[in-house]
Structure 1
Amino acid sequence: MPAKAKTLLIWLVVIFLIYAIVTSPDRAADIIKAIWDVIANAFSSFGEFLANLTS
């Protein structure tokens, strides 16, 4: 991907994220919380998997 296209795409994503947060902060917070829950559950499951391997 050309450097200018990549830079433009990054700026568009950033501008969209700012717009989404400003227009609907509650919805944005819900999305971030859901993403965090998925990440936390993934690490928890991975830790449980490793614990079961060692026992």
Structure 2
Amino acid sequence: MPPKLKTVLIWIVAIFLVYAIVTSPDRAADLVRALWDMITGAFTSFGTFFSGLTE
């Protein structure tokens, strides 16, 4: 991907995120919480899997 295009896409995503947070902060917070729960759930599942291998 060309560097200029990558920079433009990053700016577009950043502007959209700021817009989404400003227009509906509660919904944005719910989205962040849901993403965080998915990430922590994935790491917990990996931990359970690897601990199951050692038993």
Using the size of structure 1 for normalisation, the TM-score is: 0.95
Total equivalences in the alignment: 55
Task: Please list the CA deviations of residues 10-55 of structure 1 after superposition, one character each: whole Å capped at 9, or x if unmatched.
Answer: 1000000000000000000000000000000001011011111100
CA distance in 2 between partners of 1:5 and 1:45 (Å): 36
Partner of 1:34: 34
CA distance in 2 between partners of 1:40 and 1:3 (Å): 32
Percent of paired sites with the same residue: 65
Instruction: Map 1:3-42; keep pairs closer than 5 Å.
Output: 3-42=3-42
CA root-mean-square deviation: 0.6
Question: Offset at 1:3?
Answer: 1.3
Q: Which amino acid aligns with 1:19?
A: Y
Runs of 4+ with deviation above 2 angstroms: none
